[in-house]
Every structure is written in C-alpha cells, then in structure tokens.
Amino acid sequence: MLLAFVLIVIGLATTIYGVRLVNERHRPIDLAGALLAASGLATALAGVGRLLSDKFF
C-alpha cells in the first residue's frame, strides 16, 4: 500500500515538473520535458493500479 502512494506522489511530481519544462524552456529541453511528463503519468498510473490490485506487480 505504501509503494502505491509513493509511486503516485513521485509520478505526479514528475508530471508537474515535466509540464513546467515544456512551458518554460526552449526546443531541446521542452522535448525532454514532454517525455518526462509522459513517464511521470505512467508511473502515477502504475501506482493507482497497485493501489487497486495487490497482484498488479
């Protein structure tokens, strides 16, 4: 259960940081921010899956 909450918090923080990079920086950094936001969202969704099912991973 704790792992699920940690994944959700880390995923949301990474997503927010990625979105800030996309909006505030120029070309090479904003592409990395887009990838960072997507990976943060995937991490948060993995945390939600772990929260809903103990056999998720």
Does 30 fall in a domain?
yes
pLDDT at 55: 86
Domain that holds residue 34: 9-48
The model's pTM: 0.90
pLDDT at 17: 98
Integer CA distances (angstroms), 28 to 22, 23, 42, 48, in order: 10, 12, 22, 31
Does 31 fall in a domain?
yes
Query: What's 47's DSSP letter?
Result: H
> What distance in Å separates the CA atoms of residue 14 and residue 8, rounded to the nearest whole number?
10
Q: How many domains does the chain have?
A: 1
Does 24 fall in a domain?
yes
pLDDT tens digits, one per residue of 15-57 = 999 999 999 989 899 999 999 999 999 999 999 999 999 887 7
Does 26 fall in a domain?
yes
Taking a C-beta distance cutoff of 8 angstroms, is the pair 22, 37 a contact? yes
Between 3 and 55, residue with greater pLDDT: 3
